[in-house]
Structure formats: C-alpha cells, structure tokens
Amino acid sequence: DQQVKQNSPSLSVQEGRISILNCDYTNSMFDYFLWYKKYPAEGPTFLISISSIKDKNEDGRFTVFLNKSAKHLSLHIVPSQPGDSAVYFCAASVPGFQKLVFGTGTRLLVSP
C-alpha cells in the first residue's frame, strides 16, 4: 500500500530553467508534507515542508505547492542549478505518530 507516490523516477532540466517535481498521496489524514534531497552515499537532508492547512510555502529558490482536493503536491525549483542534481523524496507525516511515509523518489539531473 503505497500511500505516497512519485510517479516520475527521473527528470532532466537545463540550468536556469524551472524544475517541477510531483508527488501524490492517498491518506487525507496526513498533516505535514516534506521534501528531502539525497546525494549519493549521503543521508537525506530536509529541504522544505508545508502544513496541510496551507497551500504554498516558499524558501529561496524552492517553493512547495499543496492541492488538498487533488491530494497532490509539487516542488518547484527556480532557477535550477547543476548542484540541485540529486534524488528528491516526498514524505508525509502521520499525525500523532510523528513518523514519515516516503515516496520512491525522483532523480533530478540539471545540465549546464
């Protein structure tokens, strides 16, 4: 039962353009959504999050949008940089348990 899905295993974007990574979920009880970034041989690092009561959160080049009716969220990176090349995981928080449910990840490649 995959409650958090990232249907695109990979994405290629040119430097300076926008990267859009998508995530869908099935459990309407999730109260927090997070994006993690992972480089090879390193653990995931927290990037940005959004509460289920909001529809947008912005932090520098990174913006996360949440559409609760569609159970969909997206991460926008503008402008994309080669250093953004990594695997991005979407995660959702189970209320009351403080545990994360992760998606399968999307590998982003930003070419110069």
**CA-CA distances (angstroms) from residue 111 to 57, 61, 85?**
26, 17, 8
CB of 8 to other proteins, least distance (A): 13
Closest approach, Cβ 34 to other proteins, in A, equals 6
Q: Which residues pair with 65 in a beta bridge?
A: 56, 74
The correct pick among 34, 75, 77, 110 for binding other proteins (CB under 8 A) is: 34
Taking the least distance from each CB to other proteins, the nearer of 18 and 46 is 46
Please give the single-letter amino acid code of residue 31.
Answer: D
Which stretch of DSSP H or E encloses residue 94?
A: strand 86-94
30: enclosing H helix or E strand: none
Please, which of residues 63-82 interact with other proteins by CB under 8 A?
none
The window from 10-18, 35-43, 56-64, 67-75 that contacts other proteins (CB under 8 A) reads 35-43
How many helices, marked H, and strands, marked E, lie in the chain? Answer: 0, 11
The one among 62, 71, 79, 102 contacting other proteins by CB under 8 A: 102
Residue that the structure tokens 């402008």 belong to: 79
Q: Which residues bind other proteins (CB under 8 A)?
A: 4, 6, 32, 34, 36, 41-46, 49, 89, 91, 93-94, 97-105
